[in-house]
Amino acid sequence: MSEQINEQAEKMREMAQTTLDKAKEAVSNYMTESQKLREKADSGVRATYSSAKEMNEKAVAFAEANVAAGFELAQKLLHAKDPQEMGAVYQSHLKEQMEKMNAQFRELGSAMSQPAAVDLNK
């Protein structure tokens, strides 16, 4: 009878060891997949940050160009000989600025409508 008990105990140990091995493998697989998901999420965050940074840099560059154009207008107005020339300079400036700003808005709008490039296969 004690031999039967020993046999049963050994079978129980083997089953417990098999269960433990499978649990370790499952946890290891879970951790591996979890790491892959975190890396994908990090990649997405980096891509989003990169896009936002690029948009910010464009917006700042556009603002700087528009401020410079304002100073250029002021300089031209200072050198105008009469009110008619001032009007012509101002109208020319407005036309140029409207064209530039339309192009800037189109560029920003186009950049905003494009999703950040994220490689989900990494």
What are the DSSP E strand ranges found in 28-79?
A: none
Q: Which long-range contacts (CB under 8 A, 24 or more apart) does 75-84 make?
A: none
Q: What is the CB neighbour count within 10 angstroms for residue 77?
A: 14
- Residue extents of the structural domains in the chain: 2-113
Across the range 28-51, mean pLDDT stands at 83
- pLDDT digits over 61-104, tens only? 999 999 999 999 999 989 999 999 999 999 999 999 999 999 99
Q: 119: which residues sit within 8 A by CB, 6+ positions away? A: 43
In terms of Cα–Cα distance, which of 75, 69, 78 is closest to 96? 69
Contact 110, 102 (CB under 8 A): no
Across the range 3-26, mean pLDDT stands at 88
Higher pLDDT, 98 or 50: 98
Q: What is the CB neighbour count within 10 angstroms for residue 85?
A: 13
